[in-house]
Structure 1
Amino acid sequence: MSKKEPTRLHPLSRRAFVKQTGIAAAAGLLAPSLFAQQAAGAGTYLIANRLETAGPAVLSGYIGSRLEQCFQADILTKNFDHLIEPFRRRTETHLWQSEFWGKCMMASLLAYQYKPDPQLKAKIDAAVTGLIATQTPDGYIGNYSAQSRLKQWDIWGMKYCLLGLLEYYDLTNDKKSLDAAVKLCDYLIGEINRQGGTIVDKGNYRGMAASSVLLPLVRLSVATGNKKYLDFAEAIVKQWETPGGPQLISKAAVNVSERFPRPKEWYSPEQGQKAYEMMSCYEGLLALYRLTGKEAYKQAVLDVFKNIQDTEINIAGSGASAEMWFGGKERQTTPVYHYQETCVTVTWMQLCLALLKLTGEAKYAHAIETTYYNALMAALKSDGSTWAKYTPLNGGRLPGSGQCGMDLNCCSANGPRGLFAMPGLVAMHGREGIAVNFFIEGSTETTTPQGKRIRLVQTTDYPASGNILIRLEMSASEDMTLLVRIPEWSRQTVLQVNEAAHPDVTPGAYVKLKRKWNTGDTIRLELDMRGRVKVMGDRHRYFALLSGPLVLSRDTRFTGTNLGMVISPLKGEESYIELKKSRAAARDSWLQFEAKFQAENYKEQTDPPVWASFCDYASAGNGAEASTFQTWMPLIFNAAKME
């Protein structure tokens, strides 16, 4: 797909999509999303999503350039034969090489749906064929020796193989991939039953790693209509509530960092705080709710989302220390060991996306935007070639190292899944109409509630500014609702429809614009991009700056005050601050700002204010030249003002 905007509407059926791209597929289905999309099979979800991902998207501007960088320097360079080799040897006893194929496959499929490149198509097809060729007669696909099956990370790896195979089937309707997934899942169920029928005592972290296979079980139940996969999924959820299980339903409202006593060893089967695996289980539970309609499942996910957001997610939209929940939201101003694993970042986005699709509530889109522009983009190297495993809020930005004797790690395999999810989320379609979730230069094609084709074209440099113009290109006029998300931080918003002001605008909610829409109609937004000061701490107080969805940081690449100088906002704490865009752009950075502060000079007299330089957090420490950065800045302590 060219980065140049198309001049006409494209058909949105899967048949048209695959005819254009060269993939054989069933007709009449929109290209599916990565996350829990209903497959073209005999099963049916009882609970429909309120929103679904749209059709083809073409993004430009900064986000478009980062997608293209990652596509060329990461996606197209993946060596799937290298990833398949452990499946051929099958000698592993405790490591997790088998997750890499599934993660890279799902990222590649998302990237292909965004940009259907023939070279990538050939790699994907060969990767699926190569993996299926390793399947043993009993159905096993994995890298573990016969004596070590179902131990450690074996089931976790099967989960990712299943997801990769099912994603490929969803896009292509290739029966061989579905058959391979069925055989693998049948092998797993048979072996679990042969070994006593319990899954939560297999592998790591109170069974969360192994039992996160719940998500592909639900999807396989839908794809095949076979109830045995649903029955096995329900059995897993029951086992969660046993004494040795993670108790993900009964403890859903308990702080995720405090559910179980601290184990003697941090990385151990008894550890119940593992962030990535826990959220993976809840993503599967939400899919199981859609299949069964059991409200307790949905409520558990709603409760855990709120708890994670309230106690763990930091200003950049992620969290976890050494891969575990630790009550990190209130501790984010201090240096944190192995902070913000990228796998945690991506899985938090996946959980938020599943909730956004199910509920259609704007708060989940807000959470995704915060994470995408900050924690996720910060993990992507400036040239798009690889991903950091951890991303601190202060310090330096370093790439992750290889794992399991291979040249990649869990996060470098996972990062692109989050990055290439965005093109399908900018605008989504639903029963009420079309929801515009994110503001990115480019276009999205989808269908109206009556099945008519529509293209939404955005002209904007957001978040450099808050000016957004959305133009509709329609095949026919239609009465419908357009939902436009107003960010939580935009307290002063101007919205116009065809240049006429629309008065009812609420921050943190969708504006519902119900009318007869015609081709050429426009929606204009002016969002509140004033700089904001965020303060945290009681005795030891720190502040950070934000602009729109962006967290800002000081970086040693920029001119201005030394990072060691203590500065304070001029207008007091928890206020707005005037930001001036800087034209002195540093290499490998995106947006730069300057603001005035009062510097502590340790004199009797007060000096004039000083200018300090900032850039977007994703660019901080993320250039060709090494640099350090600072997001949380200490506020001067004044004993004379103690109460």
Structure 2
Amino acid sequence: MVFQDSDLYKWMETVAFSLQWDRDHEWEKIFDEVVSLIEDAQEEDGYLNTYFSVNHPDKKWTNLKDDHELYCAGHLMEAAVAYYDATGKTRIIDLVSHLVDHIASVLGKQKGQKAGYPGHPEIELALMKLYRITEDQKYIDLCQFFIEERGKRNPSHYFDIELEKRGGGVKKSSNRNYDYYQAHLPVREQKTAEGHSVRATYLYSGMVDLANELKDKELLDVCRVLWENTVNKRMYVTGGIGSSSHEERFTVDYDLPNDRAYTETCAAIALIMWAHRMVQIEADHKYTDVLERALYNGGALSGISLDGKGGYFYVNPLEVWPHTANCRHDMRTVKPTRQKWFGCACCPPNIARLLASLGQYIYSANDSEVYVHLFIGGEASFKIDKQSIRLTQNSNYPPWEGRTKLTIDLERPATFTVSPRLPGWCRNVQILINGEIKDVPVDKGYAKIKREWQNNDTIELLFDMPVEIVRSHPEVRVNAGKVALQRGPILYCLEEVDNGANLQDLRLKTNQSFVVEYENGLLNGVTVIKGKAAATDKDAIEDKLYTTFTYPEVEKEIKAIPYYAWSNRGENEMTVWIREK
């Protein structure tokens, strides 16, 4: 039940993001009423967590490792910042400021304080958001304390100290279990992504924010090392992370089972947040490529049904055989269909706030340059050369067509750089300026188009989007001899409803010419990939479990759909990885 506060705060943040682009005064009124309720729940000293205020007022701040007081506080802070950005109202900022003052009076390194930090990171990135809008040093100081204190032994591990104070006995300080909380080592000594995948990526996001603000090169280098380990050794092809249902965690390099993939929806969203921060530090398409992969595939879009309300995935596997999936009774383990809700309902509101905040991931800008990170239709305005520059994007860019057009609106000519991303998955991009193909310099996967822009100038990007065959690193044991299909940033899968049962029997011919078709009436309109595969001739199969007989093959037509759209047509088999012929 400790999650109830945080789930409310995520929904509040979703409303606040929505108000940034649609100032619906009815929703604003509802939000203000909720703020009033929260004010009534806040205690005089600033403490705010309804579970402990009502049920265990004597246990506040006694179990930072397992309780979620700081986690809930962090989500309230994020909602406060989003609402302030949308409305300019400071009432909720004052509320969370009072809460932070209370936290800082209890936790810290001064005499009488507890040198503790959250077992579930999240408040770190929220504090940095507060610092950016207020420039109040107390926020960055508290964030820095939580990050720098994590994993230290002074001389004992803090989680051992609080356990002893709760009467749990003395426990030897050791690394056992602390990697789950990313508290096995001080953060500056960590080199691999460990433990609970959502906690890890929230922490890394806060670390990037802090390193950027403090110009801390050492801490930023730690973030880079952790990034490379995550995406090159511990990430699924869909962009999902967290390979084990046990502790919802990372395991070891290249351990990426498909049918037991945990790949929590919240983890994909946290990876998107981390990637977004990395590309703000260093404009390199390798970060945005991962952001896009996680957004369009494993956990973000796949985590919610196509109708937007019919069900959710907590877990996003890459292979499902319903007969075994239904034997697992925990609603958060692999399921062949989306669930209406969860006892731990962190994922549904997380998806909602991601979609509502999508605009912040598309562009970024400074005084002389506009970056186009994602190709999604809409409008955005920037302040350059003392005037407002509006950029309109018209796009049916991936997943369906490799074309997007940017139109620049401005009052007077101005010289600046427009830097659209050239995705790593695309081998050939044509850039047209006002209809003429141009060669432009490229830096780390971003085209650098600098010129004096006139009103109504256009940039068109034409992306080559053939069907690609994807193979795993040879140390990913479960994918030996298998391939996946990709077109643009979209990963594809096979479903039983299109291809029949026993998908693992199919052997894909990779040297064929695939057919790409848009099917308007399928899954709200998707582009499918059609091809040929070999399958065992069912008429020749003996009723024996084992045989020395070589079964003949037959050719079979296959159809692959985008992975994000699977499990929208009832319970059936699904696989991303297909045996190669």
TM-score normalised by L of structure 2:
0.80
The Cα of 1:124 is off from its aligned counterpart by 2.2
Q: Structure 1 regions of 5+ residues with no counterpart?
A: 1-91, 258-272, 637-643
State the Cα distance separating 1:599 from its structure 2 match.
3.9
Contact 2:381 2:388 in 1 (8 A): no
Q: Is the 8 A contact 2:442 2:448 kept in 1?
A: no
Tell me how far apart the structure 2 counterparts of residues 505 and 533 of structure 1 sit (CA, whole Å).
Answer: 29
- The answer to whether residue 274 in structure 2 is matched with residue 367 in structure 1 is no
Kindly provide the amino acid, as one letter, of the partner of residue 575 in structure 2.
Answer: Q
Where in structure 2 are the equivalents of 1:519-530 lying within 5 Å? 519-530=455-466
Give the whole-Å Cα distance in 2 for the aligned partners of 1:424 and 1:379.
20
Which residue of 241, 247, 252 corresponds with 2:185?
Answer: 247
Q: 2:579 aligns with which of 608, 628, 634?
A: 634
Residue in 2 that maps onto 1:332: 256
Deviation at 1:325, TM superposition (A): 3.4
How far does residue 620 in structure 1 lie from its aligned partner after superposition? 1.1
Q: Secondary structure at the residue paired with 1:215? A: helix
- Measured in 1, the distance between the counterparts of 2:441 and 2:501 equals 39
Contact 1:387 1:415 in 2 (8 A): no
Q: Give distance in 2, aligned partners of 1:443 and 1:222.
A: 24
Residues 139, 184 of structure 1: 8 Å contact kept: yes
Which residue number corresponds to residue 222 of structure 2?
Answer: 300
Q: Bigger shift: 212-221 or 123-132? A: 212-221
Aligned pair in 2 of structure 1 residues 248, 563: CA closer, same or farther (>3 Å)? Answer: same
State the AA in 2 paired with 1:529. Answer: M
CA contact (8 A) 2:370 2:417 kept: yes
Q: CA deviation at 1:555?
A: 1.5
Query: Structure 2 CA distance, aligned partners of 1:608 and 1:520?
Result: 57
* Residues 469 and 483, structure 2, Cα contact 8 Å, conserved in 1: yes
Q: Distance in 1 between matches of 2:111 and 2:521?
A: 61
Conserved 8 A contact 2:523-2:568: no
Q: Which has the higher contact order (CA 8 A, sep 6+)?
A: 1
1:160 aligned partner, one-letter code: H
CA offsets 1:555-576 (integer angstroms, 9 cap, x no match): 12326786354222241xxxx8
Instruction: Find the counterpart in structure 1 of residue 166 from structure 2.
Output: none
Give the root-mean-square deviation of aligned CA atoms. 2.9
- C-alpha displacement of 1:504: 4.4
Equivalent residue in structure 1 for 2:339, among 399, 404, 414: 399
SS at match of 1:524: strand
Q: TM-score, normalised by structure 1?
A: 0.73
- Aligned to 2:421, the other structure's residue is in SS state strand
Instruction: Find the residue that maps to 1:543 and give its secondary structure.
Output: strand
Per-residue deviation, 1:195: 9.4
Distance 2:513 2:241 in 1: 27
Structure 1 residue 426: Cα displacement: 2.4
**In 2, are the aligned partners of 1:580 and 1:595 still within 8 Å (CA)?**
no
AA in 2 matched with 1:635: E
Structure 1 246/114 Cα, relative in aligned 2: closer, same or farther at 3 Å?
farther
Q: State how far apart, in whole Å, the 2-side matches of 1:359 and 1:442 are.
A: 25
Q: Give the equivalent residue in structure 2 for 1:178.
A: 93
- Structure 1 residues 220 and 501, CA gap change in structure 2 (3 angstroms): closer
Q: Separation in 1 of the partners of 2:78 and 2:16?
A: 11
Shift of 1:497: 1.3
Shift of the 129–348 alpha-carbon distance from structure 1 to 2, 3 Å rule, reads same
Contact map agreement 2:379 2:391 (CA 8 A) in 1? yes
Alpha-carbon offset, residue 348 of structure 1: 0.8
8 Å CA contact 2:510–2:580 kept in 1: the answer is: no
Matches within 5 A, 1:130-529: 130-143=37-50, 144=52, 145-150=56-61, 151=63, 152-192=67-107, 196-200=112-116, 207-209=118-120, 212-243=122-153, 244=157, 245-253=183-191, 255-257=192-194, 273-320=195-242, 321-322=244-245, 324-327=248-251, 330-336=254-260, 339-375=262-298, 376-385=300-309, 386-395=311-320, 396-399=336-339, 401-403=341-343, 409-504=345-440, 509-529=445-465
The residue type paired with residue 169 of structure 1 is Y
The one-letter code matched in structure 2 to 1:98 is D
Partner of 2:8: 101
- Note the alpha carbon deviations across 1:134-187, whole angstroms, 9 max, x for none: 111111111212112123112221222222223323433323212211111111
Once the two structures are superposed, residues 62-101 of structure 1 have per-residue CA deviations (whole angstroms, 9 ceiling, x without a partner) of: xxxxxxxxxxxxxxxxxxxxxxxxxxxxxx7xx3222112
Could you tell me whether the CA contact under 8 Å between 1:352 and 1:364 is conserved in 2? yes
Whole-Å separation in 2 of the counterparts to 1:224 and 1:426: 25
Q: In the alignment, what sits opposite 2:467? A: 531
1:554 is aligned to 2:494: yes
**Displacement, 1:281?**
1.9
Q: Residues of 1 paired with 2:130 and 2:425: CA distance?
A: 40
Contact 1:434–1:448, Cα closer than 8 Å, also in 2: no
- Tell me: CA distance 1:196–1:591, structure 2 relative to 1, closer, same or farther (3 Å): farther
For 1:626 and 1:115, how far apart are their aligned partners in 2?
Answer: 37
Helix, strand or coil for the counterpart of 2:371?
A: strand
Q: Residue 133 of structure 1 aligns to a residue in which SS?
A: helix
For 1:583 and 1:599, the matched residues in 2 are separated by 25
Instruction: Return the letter of the residue paired with 1:626.
Output: E
Contact 1:214 1:233 in 2 (8 A): yes
Q: Check 1:582–1:280 CA distance in 2 against 1; reply closer, same or farther (3 A cut).
A: closer
- Which one-letter code corresponds to 1:618 in the other structure? Y
Aligned to 1:113: 20
**3-state secondary structure, aligned to 2:277:** helix
Displacement of 1:554 in angstroms is 0.9
Q: Which amino acid aligns with 1:612?
A: I
Question: How far apart in 2 are the matches of 1:524 and 1:369?
Answer: 20
CA 1:507–1:458 in 2, change beyond 3 Å: closer, same or farther?
farther
Deviation per CA, 1:48-70: give whole Å up to 9, x if none.
xxxxxxxxxxxxxxxxxxxxxxx
Name the aligned partner's letter for residue 189 of structure 2: K
- Counterpart Cα distance in 1 of 2:205 and 2:219: 10
Identity of aligned residues (%): 17
Give the AA of the match of 2:105: G
Aligned-pair distance for 1:607?
6.6
Q: State the 1:280 CA deviation.
A: 1.6
Counterpart amino acid of 2:216?
K
- Secondary structure of residue in 2 paired with 1:250: helix
Report the 3-state secondary structure (helix = DSSP H, G, I; strand = E; otherwise coil) of the residue aligned with 2:526. coil
- Pairing partner for 1:127 from 5, 23, 34: 34
Partner Cα separation in structure 2 for residue 415 and residue 169 of structure 1: 21
Unaligned runs of 5+ in 2: 158-182, 321-335, 541-548
Alpha-carbon offset, residue 619 of structure 1: 0.6
CA distance in 2, matches of 1:221, 1:425: 20
SS in 2 for 1:553: strand
Structure 1: distance between partners of 2:365 and 2:409: 15
Change (3 A) 1:432 1:600: farther
Change over 3 Å in CA distance of 1:383–1:389 after alignment to 2: same
> Which stretch of the first structure deviates more once superposed, 222-231 or 549-558?
222-231
**1:426–1:444 CA contact under 8 A, matched in 2:** no
- The AA in structure 1 aligned to 2:255 is R
Q: Which moved more, 1:458-467 or 1:324-333?
A: 324-333
In the aligned structure 1, how far is the partner of 2:218 from the partner of 2:114? 22
8 Å contact kept, 2:124–2:206: yes
Deviates more, 1:324-333 or 1:485-494: 324-333
Larger displacement relative to structure 2 (513-522 or 323-332): 323-332
- Which deviations, in whole Å up to 9, do the C-alpha atoms of 1:273-302 show, x marking residues without a partner? 122112222222222223322222222222
